[in-house]
Structure 1
């Protein structure tokens, strides 16, 4: 049962259910909240709305760029990197879910629709369940190292899991530092790496010392001057804040937490021949991994999608456009159809799923399911989802952004096919048998 619980915590099922509930909640609030203008918000509700909305927006922005870093990193490194990031993926992305739940609370508070509140409560229950399971998984990792985080450490871990490393680091008196700012630190900085030993031996900073989950850091701290700068690192920046805050409480005056962890640092250092205590022992990527080739395109469409997610509802709220029921229904059909297509594509790919064109060395070409009809069903799914989103909110500003990222998907698909053709000998035959995006059209 513990193994199944761990897989459930780290797997996508709970996250998918949460995001599905969020979509239903948002749709319910807007569809049934047309009369909200007749009930102006009280001062108290407005204050709560602004406070919670600001927190949700801040956490969302930080989490979104962390998500981009993860998606860029995950498919482009070695087999061991995939194992490490898969283990911590749910922990890394959980603050994004926090922002979603908080944002939906604001939507429900604004529209005040009973059905939306019911769905939000169910979504909140799933979110709390997922959080508890992730905390349990973290505690299990502590136990594997024969350690206990203590009450204060546990509180820091939970807050870090919910809100992200930046808020916790600031609140604890430490300072987050971006990978490109490492040159500002003195060369005698004490580098504390809190990852597990397999992660540490896979890749690390040249001057780092390994203290898995903080084990032994108290004894080591006694050997250093409190004036000496300290840099705490982990893979994603989500395990290190607890140790950074702990060292700050011990009296160290200059404690830094590596923002987004070694994951982002590896991206910046890749293929560079840098030297010094902050350089990596393995700066080179696996030559058989090619996700890096299309990174700029992927960041482009992810950024455009990010702006669409924000702009469309805000524009709808400001302009109050007259949206017909037919337009809303078409938007819903496109969005739900895109979600179903995306799920079918994900299921068909299974372990071969990659954000970028980075085929598994032991993988096989997937030509079954929806991939027997079109070569890029996931891209079609994303285009449909955001087309429905723009239609539902009747967003004029989002329309050109949607068109732009659709073009990026087309460009990326063409370049990906060249990469996949080099990797799979039968890919050219597969291209002749299937359509790129739309069956019998293109």
Structure 2
């Protein structure tokens, strides 16, 4: 019989497999026929590699009960964190399926051919960033490890900065982006619409 920790570990492994499969499994060259974004967060690539090494180790240690840095260990809190991670995975899958070949990693940003304004993008301008923020928040809650909390904060800062660069470039290339940005939230759906809409 599996313990709760092993079950949560297996769930997070499956989440990671879905994300990596969609994130890395792009067909063709996403750069082809697209203009490079003038500014992007190139240093993100090193942090991204670090996350791929540190996070699985911490998740395994936490779920199997070997994490000495964990601030707490409670099954209900672990399940809440896992649920938040699941929400992040679901948002990522929906966004990635909609954006398709227009996807480009934030550290090697290329402008899309058009502004996508339907699907999950109807509500949020950067759903893939929001998905990863939720996913790693869930991991931070599940593991209760200060390192994963710090990783989540740094990841959030990278995504805020990257979103600002992207939005500046999109405003210059697509005049319609200004109206779109007033009707949608950056990472969280906008509840109250702008008076100009």
TM-score of the superposed pair, with normalisation by structure 2: 0.72
The answer to whether structure 1 residue 388 and structure 2 residue 138 are counterparts is yes
Q: Is the 8 A contact 1:338 1:385 kept in 2?
A: yes
SS at match of 1:419: helix
For residue 359 of structure 1, the aligned residue among 111, 131, 134 is 111
Deviations 1:115-163 (A, max 9, x none): xxxxxxxxxxxxxxxxxxxxxxxxxxxxxxxxxxxxxxxxxxxxxxxxx
Q: Is the 8 A contact 1:374 1:439 kept in 2?
A: yes
Deviates more, 1:380-389 or 1:303-312: 303-312
Tell me, in whole angstroms, the C-alpha distance in 2 between the residues paired with 1:308 and 1:31. Answer: 14
- Mark the CA change 1:440 to 1:304 in structure 2 (over 3 Å): closer, same or farther: farther
Deviations 1:393-428 (A, max 9, x none): 221222112111111111110111011112222111
Find the counterpart in structure 2 of residue 294 from structure 1.
40
The answer to whether structure 1 residue 317 and structure 2 residue 69 are counterparts is no
The answer to whether structure 1 residue 404 and structure 2 residue 150 are counterparts is no
The answer to whether structure 1 residue 434 and structure 2 residue 180 are counterparts is no
The answer to whether structure 1 residue 305 and structure 2 residue 54 are counterparts is no
Tell me, in whole angstroms, the C-alpha distance in 2 between the residues paired with 1:407 and 1:303. Answer: 16
Find the counterpart in structure 2 of residue 29 from structure 1.
6
Aligned-residue offset at 1:330: 0.7
Deviations 1:338-369 (A, max 9, x none): 00000111122123222233124xx3210001
Aligned-residue offset at 1:289: 2.3
Find the counterpart in structure 2 of residue 275 from structure 1.
none
- Higher strand share goes to which structure? 1
Q: Is the 8 A contact 2:69 2:146 kept in 1?
A: no
Find the counterpart in structure 1 of residue 17 from structure 2.
none
Deviations 1:299-343 (A, max 9, x none): 154135222333343365242855212201111110110000001
For residue 334 of structure 1, the aligned residue among 84, 88, 96 is 84
For residue 166 of structure 2, the aligned residue among 400, 416, 421 is 416
- Mark the CA change 1:440 to 1:385 in structure 2 (over 3 Å): closer, same or farther: same
Tell me, in whole angstroms, the C-alpha distance in 1 between the residues paired with 2:120 and 2:169. Answer: 21
TM-score of the superposed pair, with normalisation by structure 1: 0.34
Q: Is the 8 A contact 1:338 1:382 kept in 2?
A: yes
SS at match of 1:294: coil
SS at match of 2:104: coil
Unaligned runs of 5+ in 2: 11-19, 193-197
Unaligned runs of 5+ in 1: 1-24, 34-63, 80-285
Superposed counterparts of 1:161-172, under 5 Å:
none
Please identify runs of 4+ aligned residues in structure 1 that moved more than 4 A: 30-33
Pick the structure with greater CA Rg: 1
Q: Is the 8 A contact 2:88 2:130 kept in 1?
A: yes
SS at match of 2:40: helix
